[in-house]
Amino acid sequence: MSQGKQSKLKIFLINLFVLVALLLLLFVFGEITLRSFIPKVGHTGMNRLTSSPLTYEMIPNLNIVREGVQISTNSDGFRDTEFTGEPKPGQFVIAVLGDSFTFGQGVPQSETFPAVLQKLLNSSKNSDRFRVWNLGVCGYNIEQESYLLADFVLPRKPNWVVVGYNIVDCRPIQVDPDLVRKEEKDHRSLISRLIKYVENDLVITQLVKQRTGNLIRLFDPNWYASSYVQDTLNQYLTPDGGWIKVSALLKKMKTECDKKGIGFTIANLPAMMDFTNYPYNKANDVIISFCKDNDIDCVDILPYFKGHNYMKLWVSGIDGHANADAQQIFAKAVAVHLEEKLSLDKN
Asked if 134 contacts 112 with a C-beta cutoff of 8 angstroms, the reply is yes
Q: Tell the CATH superfamily of the 91-174+225-346 domain.
A: SGNH hydrolase (3.40.50.1110)
Burial of 45 (0-12, 13-18, 19+ CB in 10 A): middle
Single-letter code of the amino acid located at 230: Q
Determine the pLDDT at residue 309.
95
List, for residues 194-213, the tens digit of each pLDDT value: 666 555 666 666 666 666 66
Residue 86 has pLDDT above 90, yes or no: no
Residue 32 has pLDDT above 70, yes or no: no
Higher pLDDT, 203 or 59: 59
Q: Is 60 left (phi over 0), alpha (psi -120 to 50) or beta?
A: beta
List, for residues 273-292, the tens digit of each pLDDT value: 999 989 999 999 999 999 99
Report how far residue 62's alpha carbon sits from residue 76's, in angstroms, rounded to the nearest whole number.
10
Report how far residue 231's alpha carbon sits from residue 179's, in angstroms, rounded to the nearest whole number.
25
Residue 189 has pLDDT above 80, yes or no: no
Higher pLDDT, 111 or 211: 111
Question: Which letter does DSSP use for residue 239 in this model?
Answer: T
Among residues 189, 97, 86, the alpha carbon closest in space to that of 134 is found at 97
Q: What does R_g of the chain's alpha carbons equal in angstroms?
A: 24
Question: In whole numbers, what is the pLDDT of the chain averaged over residues?
Answer: 85
Residue 262 has pLDDT above 80, yes or no: yes
Which of 86-90, 296-300, 338-342 is most confident? 296-300
Determine the pLDDT at residue 161.
98
Higher pLDDT, 21 or 255: 255
Entry pTM: 0.81
